[in-house]
Amino acid sequence: MTDPFRTAATPPITAVLAFDDERRMGHALADALGVPCRPIARHRFPDGELKLTLPTGLSGSVVLLRSLHQPNEKLVELLIAAPTARAQGAERLLLTSPYLAYMRQDLEFTPGEAVSQRHIARLLGQHFDAIVTVDPHLHRIASLDEVLPPPCRGVSLSAARLLGDFIAAQHAHDSLPPLLIGPDEESAQWVAEAARPHGLQHAWCVKQRRGDRDVQVTLPADLALAARAVVLIDDMASTGRTLIEAARLCYAAGADTVDVAVTHALFVGDALDALHAAGVRRVWSSDCVPHASNAVGVAGLLAGALRGV
């Protein structure tokens, strides 16, 4: 099927630009695309300002890799790097941000609240021809294109199927297949997508949030958990409180083991230790956010989408 956004005049991808702290992902993505990975050097002045040095002699379509966990300084880096890349010859700039920050705040809940999703999307869209991301935390919009300024195109991918494949392989020799559970209603789409290719039983909990670290979770009614291997699956883990409450409920209902699989392993503070303290056996994540739990690579997923942009 022909991509309507791609024309004969679209310049080919010629390079992946990566910062030093994302060198591993940069090389994996560049290898998947069959192009070189070229570094962006950073220098911090005593007053905290940054100096970036980009490769010279760029051409064609250039991929700029930057995952936006701990995003504030990285956003400044992008605002400096994007026009510099164009000045060095890049005809098109494709931002590849495996984790795209500031997508959760999508509505003004109280007067004066900034709708961060809208503002950050507009800011990035002014500097890039396309933005490719994985499992962005979108609630009330169907796609990034609704908040990106034209002609910037948004491409939202999902790591759910990759996580589902990994989970199925881990339990390939079990007498019973694992039961996948989403810790809240918002996770329904991810758990269903992960379960579908392998025909795994799946369900999701109901959550009531009282604060950033105060949540109440309820398991689905009539869900038989006795002696089952349960995997909690979600798009992200931040404080981990929702997953912790879900794990405790699963064990109380008779689950034999509880593992966790997430796309974005943010794990703020003691979140990972608290998960293990709650009885979670193993924690797996994609490498969208660098973390010790990374078990599933997304370079191939990203490369496939970038070829079609």
pLDDT of residue 138: 86
- Is 100:133 a contact under the CB 8 Å cutoff? yes
Length of the chain: 309
The residue type of 223 is L
User: Per-residue pLDDT for 3 more than 60?
Assistant: no
Q: Does the pLDDT value for residue 96 go beyond 70? A: yes
- pLDDT above 50 (res 49): yes
pLDDT computed for residue 212 by the predictor: 55
Strand segments, DSSP code E, in the chain are 13-19, 37-44, 50-53, 61-65, 92-97, 130-134, 153-157, 179-182, 202-204, 206-211, 214-218, 229-237, 257-265, 283-286, 294-296
Query: What is the predicted pLDDT for the residue at 2?
Result: 44
pLDDT in tens, 161-175: 999 999 999 999 998
134 pLDDT higher than 50: yes
On the question of pLDDT at 79 being above 90, the answer is yes
Least Cα distance to 294 among 304, 284, 305 occurs for 284
DSSP codes of every residue in 121-143:
HHHHHTT-SEEEEES---SS-S-
Whether pLDDT at 214 is above 80: no
Question: For the segment 275-285, what is each residue's pLDDT rounded down to a tens digit?
Answer: 999 999 999 99
pLDDT for res 211: 58
First to last CA, the chain: 13
Please report which confidence band the pLDDT of residue 250 belongs to, taking 50, 70 and 90 as the band edges: very high
- Is the predicted pLDDT of residue 207 greater than 90, yes or no? no
Dihedral through CA 8, CA 11, CA 12, CA 14, nearest 10?
A: 170
- For the chain, how long is the longest CA-to-CA vector? 63
pLDDT higher than threshold 90 for residue 6: no
Compute the average pLDDT of residues 1-17: 72
- Average of per-residue pLDDT values in the chain: 93
Residues 181-205: what's their mean pLDDT?
93
- Percentage of the chain beyond pLDDT 70 is 95
| All structural domains of the chain | 13-158+297-308 (3.40.50.2020), 160-287 (3.40.50.2020)
Give burial (CB, 10 Å; 0-12/13-18/19+) of 155: buried
Catalytic residues: 207
- Are 37 and 18 a contacting pair, CB within 8 Å? yes
Indicate whether 1 pLDDT > 50: no
Segment 114-120 shows an average pLDDT of 93
Asked whether residue 86 carries a pLDDT value surpassing 80, the answer given is yes
